[in-house]
């Protein structure tokens, strides 16, 4: 990677999270995330793309300190996140790296007004503000996410708002903490298609105008292309390809990325029919050595069952983990 | 001209609420030819699933069929008794639901559920039941060993395939599908769609396929109906509808899908949200969100007018007024 780039805002090294499953004495482990190195720079939208069970939500929860890692490290502004112990420091971290959740219908308390919800967050994260300043700040963040007239919105209850508006409240809440990185876990997947674009545009605008970075978690690679500067493709708990969005889409190197791209429904594209891969989920419980995509891979060779392929760089910042298309060293 | 197997006329379905009844399906009419694949697309709350349930005669309170008729193979389904409908189900038409996990019986094996459906229609010969079960599993490319599996032992994609296999058991003329792929990952989704299309080519049944994802059905349907706030707002052959959408809502909907091909373009989606079914705007229901709105739109409720190769419920295409 080039040295002129900004230092990463947040980076992980060997980040791993396993879950013990089965009965009391079971030794079986579900490998949700294995050995992940990622970096998010200031003013950058990084999309983490993968299917259900690929570990993408686990990444968001690890970064939000909802889960502790099994192994590996997370550094925020150069400082290990694991060293955060004091309540005040934890609060500051959660304010700097807030999370926006998937389901806007479940993530807002139905008995409180929007004004109350925003004020509570501000009391917690910006205790220096007076009541008047808090209200001004609440109005500012509502306007920033395109909800106006903001003063009327403050008095509303969640049920009086549509799904798209509720998701904007989620972003307004995150914004009120003056964040540097927002973890957005499938923020548009529960919204109607006509409303999704508005929320994606909002993310792009907050990144460009307020300089906020986003970790955008999605199963929809087309929406990732629409907003993200860089993309990270996950498969069965491992990063299989990463790079600048357009480079990855133009020249996908990993067979899984290629499969994913060929499966995206696109009304503007010509019809290409292929039903060969039925999309059976991979094995993530005690997966052992080797590439986890090998059973589905049309290019698999003997080595794929023996050695886990590392991410190997193909071009500036573009890397893939495949013995065949991106042989290491 | 191919034979019409389903004729839906002026279908109206309402949900009883504590105040005003909410009209989820408002005077919907269309016909379906033998072997045709009709896609019905719309956002949540537009009435697409309610309409499908009304056609399959599966509505339950508070939903209520207020008026209209559903003529299927010459008989009005609305007037049929429960036992007459049971005779038609599975044999003449079958239904594939969104969540196979809820549609399948969790405590019975796949084989036992197949057997139940066939026995209910008079097939008592065990060998014949076994042979047909193996046959339909082969049609959806699942190994016959899974006939002995319970639903929870199958992946999401396999469960949906089992549902489709079950729908094919008695070779119906019509299969209605309510978002059968929406719980699946994109690769599994694509594969299932291709398989449904291949089965249809091979076996010749007609399909009504309801989905919120216009881009998904676009490669597979013969005709497409776009629903908004309980009404069909545009209907026509699939390719022209995609290539040159006429109704402002259809255009907005198509402009809401980012593409992975070609140059990256800024999209705007559609401002606002669909209307509350108990408080519809006067005139055109899409008016508050429409980019081409005119004063007349508030006064006149538009009809379906010819618009290029499709028909659109938009005053832009009303020849009389021009």
Domain range annotation of chain A: 1-84+219-225+232-265+279-329
Would you list the DSSP string of A122-160? HHHH-TT--HHHHHHHHHHHHHHTT--SHHHHHT--GGG
Surface of B (232-251) touching A: CB under 8 A: 242
Q: Does B257 lie at the interface with A, CB-CB under 8 angstroms?
A: yes
Residue of A nearest to B196 (CA): A275
Q: How far is B179 from chain A (nearest CA, A)?
A: 14
pLDDT at A272: 60
Q: How far is B219 from chain A (nearest CA, A)?
A: 6
Q: How far is A266 from chain B (nearest CA, A)?
A: 5
Predicted TM-score of the model (pTM) = 0.87
Residue B86, number of CB atoms within 10 A of its CB: 13
Q: How far apart are CA B43 and CA B58, in angstroms?
A: 21
Q: What is the 3-state secondary structure (H, E, C) of chain B?
A: CCCEEEEEEEEEEEECCCCCCEEEEEEEEEEEECCCEEEEECCCCCCHHHHHHHHCCCCCCCEEEEEEEEEECCEEHHHCCHHHHHHHECCCEEEECCCHHHHCCCCCCHHHHHHHHHHHCCCCCHHHHHHHHHHHHHHCCCCHHHHHCCHHHCCHHHHHHHHHHHHHCCCCCEEEEECCCCCCCHHHHHHHHHHHHHHHHHHCCEEEEEECCHHHHCCCCCEEEEEECCEEEEEEEHHHHHHCCCCHHHHHHHCCCCCCCCCCCCCCCCCCCCCCCCCCCCCCCCHHHCCCCCHHHHCCCCCCEEECCEEECCHHHCCCCC
Confidence label for A20 from pLDDT (cuts 50, 70 and 90): confident
* Averaged pLDDT of chain B: 89
Residue among B189, B257, B260 whose CB faces A193 most closely: B257
Summarize pLDDT for B273-289 with one digit per residue, the tens: 788 888 888 999 999 99
pLDDT at B71 over 90: yes
Q: Do A275 and B215 touch (CB under 8 A)?
A: no
Mean pLDDT of A39-45: 95
B168: nearest Cα among B138, B124, B191: B138
Confidence label for A2 from pLDDT (cuts 50, 70 and 90): very low
Q: How far is B187 from chain A (nearest CA, A)?
A: 5
pLDDT at A1 over 70: no
Mean pLDDT of A55-61: 92
Query: How many cross-chain Cβ pairs, A to B, lie less than 8 Å apart?
Result: 137
Summarize pLDDT for B170-207 with one digit per residue, the tens: 999 999 999 888 777 888 888 888 888 888 998 899 99
Surface of B (124-153) touching A: CB under 8 A: 141
Residues of B in contact with A271 (CB under 8 A): 219
Q: What was the ipTM of the complex prediction?
A: 0.80
Q: Does A89 lie at the interface with B, CB-CB under 8 angstroms?
A: no
Residue among B191, B198, B264 whose CB faces A278 most closely: B191
Summarize pLDDT for B135-183 with one digit per residue, the tens: 899 888 888 888 999 988 887 778 888 999 999 999 999 999 998 887 7
Side-chain-side CA neighbours of A131 within 13 Å: the count stands at 1
Q: Do B270 and A194 touch (CB under 8 A)?
A: yes
pLDDT at A27: 82
Residues of A in contact with B218 (CB under 8 A): 265, 267
Mean pLDDT of A226-240: 95
pLDDT at B320: 73
Summarize pLDDT for B37-69 with one digit per residue, the tens: 999 998 888 888 899 999 998 888 888 999 999
| Residue A90 Cα distances to A57, A81, A93, B257, angstroms | 20, 9, 5, 38
Q: What is A1-84+219-225+232-265+279-329's CATH number, 3.90.1150.10, 3.10.350.10, 3.40.50.300, 3.40.50.2300?
A: 3.40.50.300
Q: Do A279 and B184 touch (CB under 8 A)?
A: yes
Q: Does A159 lie at the interface with B, CB-CB under 8 angstroms?
A: no
Q: Does A127 lie at the interface with B, CB-CB under 8 angstroms?
A: no
Percent of residues, chain B, with pLDDT higher than 70: 99
pLDDT at A241: 97
pLDDT at A160: 85
Q: Does B276 lie at the interface with A, CB-CB under 8 angstroms?
A: no
Residue of B nearest to A275 (CA): B191
């Amino acid at each position: 990677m080039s040295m002129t780039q900004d230092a990463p805002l947040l980076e992980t090294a060997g980040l791993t999270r396993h879950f013990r499953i089965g009965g009391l004495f079971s030794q079986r482990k579900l490998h949700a995330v294995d050995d992940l190195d990622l970096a998010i720079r200031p003013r950058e939208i990084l999309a983490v793309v993968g299917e259900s069970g690929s570990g993408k939500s686990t990444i968001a929860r690890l970064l939000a300190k909802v889960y502790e890692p099994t192994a590996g490290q997370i550094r925020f502004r150069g400082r290990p996140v694991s060293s955060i112990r004091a309540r005040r420091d934890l609060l500051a971290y959660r304010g700097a790296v807030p999370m926006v959740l998937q389901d806007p219908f479940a993530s807002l308390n139905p008995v409180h007004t929007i004004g109350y919800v925003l004020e509570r967050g501000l009391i917690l994260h910006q205790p220096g503000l007076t009541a008047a300043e808090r209200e001004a700040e609440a109005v500012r963040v509502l306007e920033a996410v395109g909800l106006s007239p903001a003063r009327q919105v403050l008095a509303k209850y969640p049920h009086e708002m549509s799904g798209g508006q509720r998701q904007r409240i989620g972003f307004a809440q995150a914004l009120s903490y003056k964040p540097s990185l927002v973890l957005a876990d499938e923020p548009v997947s529960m919204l109607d298609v006509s409303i999704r674009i508005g929320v994606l545009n909002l993310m792009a605008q907050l990144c460009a105008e307020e300089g906020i970075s986003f970790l955008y978690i999605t199963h929809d690679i087309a929406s990732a292309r629409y907003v993200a500067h860089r993309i990270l493709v996950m498969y069965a708990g491992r990063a299989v390809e990463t790079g600048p969005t357009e480079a990855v889409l133009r020249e996908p190197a990993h067979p899984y990325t290629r499969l994913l791209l060929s499966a995206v429904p696109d009304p503007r594209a010509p019809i290409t029919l292929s039903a060969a891969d039925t999309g059976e989920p991979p094995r993530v419980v005690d997966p052992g050595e080797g590439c986890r995509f090998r059973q589905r891979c049309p290019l698999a060779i003997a080595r794929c069952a023996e050695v886990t392929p590392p991410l190997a760089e193909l071009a500036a910042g573009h890397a893939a983990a495949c013995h065949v298309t991106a042989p290491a060293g | 001209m191919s034979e019409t197997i389903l004729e839906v006329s002026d279908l109206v379905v309402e949900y009883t609420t504590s105040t005003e009844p909410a009209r989820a399906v408002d005077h919907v009419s269309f016909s379906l030819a033998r072997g045709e694949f009709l896609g019905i697309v719309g956002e949540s709350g537009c009435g697409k699933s309610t309409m499908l349930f009304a056609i399959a005669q599966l509505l339950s309170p508070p939903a209520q069929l207020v008026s209209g008729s559903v003529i299927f193979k010459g008989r009005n389904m609305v007037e049929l008794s429960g036992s007459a409908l049971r005779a038609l189900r599975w044999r003449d038409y079958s239904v594939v639901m969104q969540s196979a996990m809820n549609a399948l019986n969790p405590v019975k094996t796949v084989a036992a559920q197949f057997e139940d459906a066939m026995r209910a229609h008079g097939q008592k010969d065990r060998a014949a039941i076994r042979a047909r079960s193996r046959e339909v599993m082969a049609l959806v490319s699942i190994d016959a060993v899974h006939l002995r599996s319970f639903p929870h032992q199958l992946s999401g994609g396999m469960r949906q395939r089992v549902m489709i296999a079950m729908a094919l058991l008695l070779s119906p003329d019509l299969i209605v599908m309510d978002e059968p792929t929406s719980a699946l990952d994109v690769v599994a989704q694509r594969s299932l769609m291709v398989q449904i299309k291949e089965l249809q080519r091979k076996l010749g049944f007609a399909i009504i396929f309801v989905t919120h994802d216009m881009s998904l059905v676009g490669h597979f349907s013969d005709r497409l109906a776009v629903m908004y706030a309980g009404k069909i707002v545009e209907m026509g052959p699939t390719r022209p509808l995609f290539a040159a959408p006429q109704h402002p809502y259809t255009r907005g909907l198509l402009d809401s899908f980012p593409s992975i091909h070609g140059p990256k373009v800024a999209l705007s989606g559609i401002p606002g949200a669909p209307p509350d079914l108990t408080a519809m705007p006067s005139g055109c229901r899409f008016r508050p969100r429409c980019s081409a709105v005119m004063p007349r739109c508030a006064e006149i409720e538009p009809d379906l007018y010819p618009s290029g190769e499709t028909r659109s419920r938009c005053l832009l295409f009303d020849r009389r007024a021009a």
